[in-house]
Structure 1
Amino acid sequence: MAASVLLLPALTPPTYHRIVSPTLHIPTDPQVSVPVGLLACQRDPLLRELATTVVSCTVSQAPAVPSNGRKSKEKTPMPPAETLLEVILHDTVLFPEGGGQPSDVGLLTTSDKRVWKVIEIKRHGGHAVHYVSVPKEDVEAALQAFHSGAEVVASLGEEGYKKRLDHSCMHTSQHLLSAVLETRLKLPTLSWSLSTWPNPAYVEIPRNMTLEEIAFAQEAANGLVFEGRNVHVEVEEFDRDKIIEAKIAEGRGAEKGPPVDYTGGVKRTVIIDGVDRSLCCGTHFPTIHNLQLFIISHLDSVARSSTTSARLYFLAGPRLIEYVMTTHGRLTTAAATLSCGAPLVPERVEQIVEERKRMTKRVDDVEAELAAVIAKQLAAAVTDGQDDGVLHLHRTDDSVNALGFLSSIATALASEIASAPSPPSFLILLSSSPSVQTSTSTNVMMIFGSDEQKVKAVGEGLKGKLAAKGGGKGSRWSGKSSGVWSAARGTVVAGILADIRGQ
């Protein structure tokens, strides 16, 4: 992941995390896990490490990291020689997957200074469970190191912080974009997806958008970004019934409520000042300044049995920077290849496409003329009784569609023979191989003739003696074989045709 150029505050402001219920408190007992919704990563998204204690540790019984019933978007594969430990801490700076945001990855450092890799964090009910990858020979030592009450340091590490930065920027951008779409264009967000780096994320909306609407949404969102609106979080006791009843007052997402298996006892609302209020468990930075929202101006339609929705793709933060750098690099490379300035690339590409269309048509015309010439030659040979009308013609061609060219010859030959006063009996085998051949080259073959049984017999012979693959119906058979077309193959074909002549 490329380095970001975002301007973030040095510290999370003390007003960022606000407990608005007088009876809600963060547990201080080191043997009680802080519930999801009040975790350190949710209270302070800029915090990179935290000294804490182990509440419990067990060997995971799952063959792989659980995925809450769905495939995780960003899952670090576990080596086959590793065992997973499920570690619950008193508190953590590592975010468990939720709200459409993938899990963090990070490190746990035990008191013996050994560093253990956390490949995923999941929410089980209201608890954050760290899946720690441990070599099988170190399982016993790890269980001792993570005994209940042991002191550990949880940290994001360099890789984890880059992922946190990316995920937070994209998640906050989704909140911002969804708010703009809903309040200004009356387009609610049906769902969203944070894809793997560095691909764009998308929001799913009920209908397609015009280019004018996309441009309007992009401009409105960027206007708020440039203002640098602040972000803060409000938490209170969780009551599912009250959340659903307060649908309008609570803002976007209130009607959906938290997941049915959420038992954390904490209701968490993320607020972009003057823009949006949304129920969310994700990590969001204290400001939207410098997200630099960018919307890709195209939509994918999603057809379902009863409705048709659309996906609007967007980029922000580190992904936007990566996108701009990659796109600029590709444009520069294309300009150099086309020997023109970057602004002229679209025009030059259009010229090349048109030239290719003309060249393709010209090749098709020439192949049609050549097919007619070859057909006349073959028709003359058949009429003269050469080899009893059982002929083989092998060509070396680099045609884009070699089998199509052979088919053109067959069609033209059929017309030539049909126009003869007394159409003779015949069987023609056409084969073609590329000019440069390797063990993986593809050779194409076509058989056509007046006797369907003989056509079938030659096809079966090619399949049996040349390992050709193909088939046909009636008076035509076509197939392919791999490898170099050598003189030995020609001898095999001659033998197959000799057997047919003798019948």
Structure 2
Amino acid sequence: MAAATATLGAPARTPSSYHRIRPPAPIPVGLLACQRDPLARDLATTAVSCRVSQSPTVPSNGREGKKKKAAPALTAPLIEVILHDTVIFPEGGGQPSDVGTLTSADGELWDVVEAKRHGGHAVHYVRLRPEQDVDNGLKVFAPGALVGVALGEAGYKRRLDHMCMHTSQHLLSAVLEHQLHVDTIAWSLTGAPAQEIAYVQEECNRLVFEGRAVHIEVEELDTAGAKVKSGPTVGIPDDYTGGVKRTVVIDGVDRNPCCGTHAPSLHNLQLYLLPHTEALARGGTAFAGSVRLYFLAGPRLLAHLGAAHTTLTAAAGVMNCGAPQVPERVQQVVDERRRATKRVEDLEAELAGPVAAELFERVAGGEEAQDDDGGNVLGFLSAVATSFAGKVAEAEGGATPFLLVLSSSPAAQSATSTTVVLVGPRWSGKFTGVWVENREGATAASILEGVQL
């Protein structure tokens, strides 16, 4: 009987289940879906990690505004979610974060209030709604769980605005640098004459109307030769660990490293406008002698034009004239107001003398004096005090010391009313609210009783 035989050979191909990553590794910032396709609105992906945020608010990126903000009140809990991929851009490169929603496998929606880059990963900060539970959030976003991520209508409008403004800044800086040799310094531009600014706007719009293409080039990051971030938007952050370098290229115009989302064509900017400039006078700093340029493009420009038209139309209605005549009519109103104010000030100056004389006689007779006035309060009281001091000098030869306190309250007081108090000719103060004589008045009187002249 013949022996049974078997032939062993290599399989035709490796099965798809052979290579498994547990948990799935996140795509690094620089290669995210929002950076590969800035017009993408949603994506199906998987969760990599989830944890409860250690802070009730989204952590700061390290930059503080001109005025330090007060600590916000405690709000709903935050959870931090890292996904395999995302269409929600994490704040970076001077561009604010996107907002959007996550959809868990059970169909529940979770609000992403901000996204930030931590090292090379995009972290989604999910603010829980009152009916949502932290434990359930940790469960539905466990590693490997299916997650839908979307910008939503409001999030996409925000993305389009940021994208158009960011690409516009690249275009503006490129035209200034390559054609006028003007550098961008922390979003502030070295001074340029008005005719040069007009030229820049015309050149930018020419490129917009041509619809120059915009594309992204991605390459491996050379950590040894990379320029480490040295300012608000210059270079690569020293804590970036994503391993890739992104360069934004405007066809025939500019190449610039950037991690932000950008319009795929300058056509998306629709129009470009430099409404005004602002001189910066910061002696001894890098901003000395610089000019800040304000620019608008895309949806933000259209919103600005719509709001400006509405305001102008409303002003024309109030002035009872056509829109082109509004500046002239406004100037007429301002001039008339100045003349009326001058007439009131002249009359008050004339009235201050008799009021001070009457006040001097009443005080000399041992009577209490009180005067209320609703015009230029502080100016009128100062004029009365000066005239009163002159009367004392004439009558007493200036040898008698005195303390004069004048106050003025509106005839009809409310919680927002302002009472002005003048002590002598130099010191003044204001009280907001209803001045009650047997309350605020009594307090002032008790203080004055203790004054030794």
Which of 34, 56, 68 is the matching residue for 2:49? 56
The offset of 1:169, in angstroms, is 0.5
Q: Contact conserved, 2:227 with 2:236, CA < 8 A, in 1?
A: no
Cα 1:231–1:133 change in 2 (3 A) is same
Q: Contact conserved, 1:390 with 1:428, CA < 8 A, in 2?
A: no
Q: Deviations over 1:419-464 (max 9, x none)?
A: 3486796776544322222354333344xxxxxxxxxxxxxxxxxx
Q: Report the AA paired with residue 228 of structure 1.
A: G
Partner of 1:43: 36
Cα 1:406–1:138 change in 2 (3 A) is same
* 235-244 vs 366-375, greater mean Cα deviation: 235-244
Partner of 1:329: 310
- Structure number with higher strand proportion: 1
Partner of 1:141: 136
1:299 aligns with 2:278: yes
* TM-score, structure 1 normalization: 0.75
Q: Report the AA paired with residue 280 of structure 1.
A: C
Cα 1:399–1:238 change in 2 (3 A) is same
The offset of 1:403, in angstroms, is 2.8
1:219 aligns with 2:198: no
CA–CA separation in structure 1 for the residues paired with 2:221 and 2:244: 5
Q: Report the AA paired with residue 193 of structure 2.
A: T
Partner of 2:420: 444
Q: After the TM superposition, which residues 224-243 of structure 1 pair with which residues of structure 2 at under 5 Å, given as runs? A: 224-243=207-226
1:84 aligns with 2:78: yes
Cα 1:436–1:220 change in 2 (3 A) is same
**Secondary structure of the residue that 1:232 maps to in structure 2?**
strand
Q: Deviations over 1:179-225 (max 9, x none)?
A: 0111111111122xxxxxxxxxxx312x2222212111111101100
1:168 aligns with 2:167: no
Q: Contact conserved, 1:231 with 1:288, CA < 8 A, in 2?
A: yes
**Secondary structure of the residue that 2:357 maps to in structure 1?**
helix
Q: Which runs of 5+ in 2 are unaligned?
A: 1-18
CA–CA separation in structure 2 for the residues paired with 1:416 and 1:180: 70
CA–CA separation in structure 2 for the residues paired with 1:107 and 1:418: 77
CA–CA separation in structure 2 for the residues paired with 1:116 and 1:429: 62
Q: Report the AA paired with residue 339 of structure 1.
A: N
The offset of 1:82, in angstroms, is 2.5
Which of 330, 333, 336 is the matching residue for 1:352? 333
CA–CA separation in structure 1 for the residues paired with 2:48 and 2:193: 53
Q: Contact conserved, 1:41 with 1:93, CA < 8 A, in 2?
A: yes
Q: Contact conserved, 2:372 with 2:408, CA < 8 A, in 1?
A: yes
Q: Deviations over 1:2-27 (max 9, x none)?
A: xxxxxxxxxxxxxxxxxxxxxxxxx9
**Secondary structure of the residue that 2:224 maps to in structure 1?**
helix
Q: Contact conserved, 1:208 with 1:299, CA < 8 A, in 2?
A: no
Q: Deviations over 1:351-408 (max 9, x none)?
A: 22222221121111100111122233345x2xxxx664444333332113x1321221
CA–CA separation in structure 2 for the residues paired with 1:259 and 1:317: 29
1:408 aligns with 2:383: yes
Aligned length: 421
1:394 aligns with 2:370: yes
Partner of 1:377: 358
Partner of 2:238: 260
Which of 53, 62, 68 is the matching residue for 1:69? 62
CA–CA separation in structure 1 for the residues paired with 2:103 and 2:384: 74
CA–CA separation in structure 2 for the residues paired with 1:487 and 1:78: 39
Q: Deviations over 1:317-354 (max 9, x none)?
A: 11101111111111111111111111111111212222
CA–CA separation in structure 2 for the residues paired with 1:330 and 1:373: 47
Q: Which runs of 5+ in 1 are unaligned?
A: 1-26, 192-202, 246-252, 447-470
**Percent of matched pairs sharing the same residue:** 54
Partner of 2:267: 289
The offset of 1:415, in angstroms, is 2.2
Which of 182, 185, 199 is the matching residue for 1:187? 182
Cα 1:490–1:91 change in 2 (3 A) is closer
CA–CA separation in structure 1 for the residues paired with 2:403 and 2:90: 71
Q: Contact conserved, 2:56 with 2:74, CA < 8 A, in 1?
A: no
Structure 1 vs Structure 2 CA RMSD? 3.5
Q: Contact conserved, 2:100 with 2:112, CA < 8 A, in 1?
A: yes
Q: Report the AA paired with residue 343 of structure 1.
A: P
